């Protein structure tokens, strides 16, 4: 079982650093980890951000919740140490320079968030700056060799050929009979696509769940098998699975 964080386990907020899991989410994750062979939270967030909010569950020596950040470019060791993909690490200085340029030019309300080998430009607090963000991130991506990934009122720049959530799902599915993924944004579409491939090519039972609201891109629900309404709907589904699924 794999799930996204923002928009899935946590409500979308204006200030990214203020995001917190919806009430009851950490308890449900812990219960799921005791019943499923593997439970993973995979997010575009840095791993240390996920650890600060979910570390108690991740550190459980008997039934840990695995934390994977930056769309798969980083993961948390059992003690919370960040393990960064070797290929992604080479892009750290490039991304830092891009972030400095974007930050120096950003209009009021636009936030530039450096996440190791990736940088996200948020314009939720300045929706009128969307055109500037699209143009500047496209220019920086072209000049620096990075790839732009649109999200919810944001654009992220990351390394080319980087690990994505589809790769994370593929790795987690090795040796499993069934895989479920829950997500809400365009960055989750590769995970839904991989679920389809696992089902048709490898014969693994898979389910993709889109968490939708008024901002959800239509491609997200179209790529999934079913939809639920917002983090509350995701929590209700995960809670049902925690109660209904036999241990192991």
**HSE-CB for 15 with a 13 A CA cutoff:** 2
**Residues tagged active-site:** 4
The DSSP bridge partners found for residue 211 are 228
Contact 228, 181 (CB under 8 A): no
Residue spans of the domains in the chain: they are 2-85+163-244, 88-158
Residue spans of beta strands (DSSP E) within the chain: 2-3, 40-42, 66-69, 74-76, 82-84, 111-114, 119-122, 147-151, 154-158, 178-183, 205-212, 226-229
Pick the CATH number of 88-158 from 3.20.20.70, 3.30.70.1020, 3.30.365.10, 3.30.1330.60: 3.30.70.1020
pTM, two decimal places: 0.86
Q: How confident is the model at residue 245 (pLDDT cuts 50, 70, 90)?
A: low
Contacts of 175 (CB under 8 A, 6+ apart): none
User: What mean pLDDT do residues 92-110 have?
Assistant: 97
Q: How confident is the model at residue 37 (pLDDT cuts 50, 70, 90)?
A: very high
Q: How far apart are CA 48 and CA 208, in angstroms?
A: 26
Q: Which of 3-12, 85-94, 219-228 has the lowest mean pLDDT?
A: 85-94
Res 86 pLDDT > 90 = no
Contact 237, 225 (CB under 8 A): no
Q: Which two tokens stand for residue 45?
A: 């967030």
Res 248 pLDDT > 80 = no
Which CATH class, in words, describes the domain spanning 2-85+163-244? alpha beta
């Amino acid at each position: 079982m794999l799930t996204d964080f923002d928009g899935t386990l946590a409500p979308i907020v204006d200030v990214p650093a203020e995001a917190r899991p919806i009430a009851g989410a950490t308890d449900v994750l812990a219960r799921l980890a005791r019943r499923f062979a593997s439970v993973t939270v995979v997010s575009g967030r840095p791993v240390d951000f996920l650890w600060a909010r979910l570390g108690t569950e991740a550190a459980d020596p008997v039934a840990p919740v695995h934390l994977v950040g930056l769309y798969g470019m980083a993961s948390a060791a059992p003690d919370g140490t960040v393990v960064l993909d070797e290929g992604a690490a080479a892009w750290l200085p490039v991304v830092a320079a891009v972030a400095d340029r974007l930050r120096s030019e950003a209009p009021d309300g636009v936030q530039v968030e450096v996440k190791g080998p990736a940088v996200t430009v948020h314009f939720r607090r300045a929706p009128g700056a969307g055109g500037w963000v699209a143009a500047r991130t496209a220019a920086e991506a072209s000049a620096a060799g990075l790839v732009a990934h649109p999200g919810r009122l944001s654009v992220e720049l990351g390394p080319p050929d980087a690990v994505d959530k589809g790769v994370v799902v593929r790795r987690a599915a090795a040796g499993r009979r069934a895989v479920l993924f829950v997500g809400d944004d365009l960055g989750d579409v590769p995970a839904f696509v991989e679920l389809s491939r696992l089902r048709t090519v490898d014969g693994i039972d898979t389910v993709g769940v889109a968490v939708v609201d008024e901002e959800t891109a239509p491609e997200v629900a179209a790529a999934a098998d079913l939809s639920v309404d917002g983090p509350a709907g995701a929590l209700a589904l995960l809670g049902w699975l925690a109660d209904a699924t036999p241990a192991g």
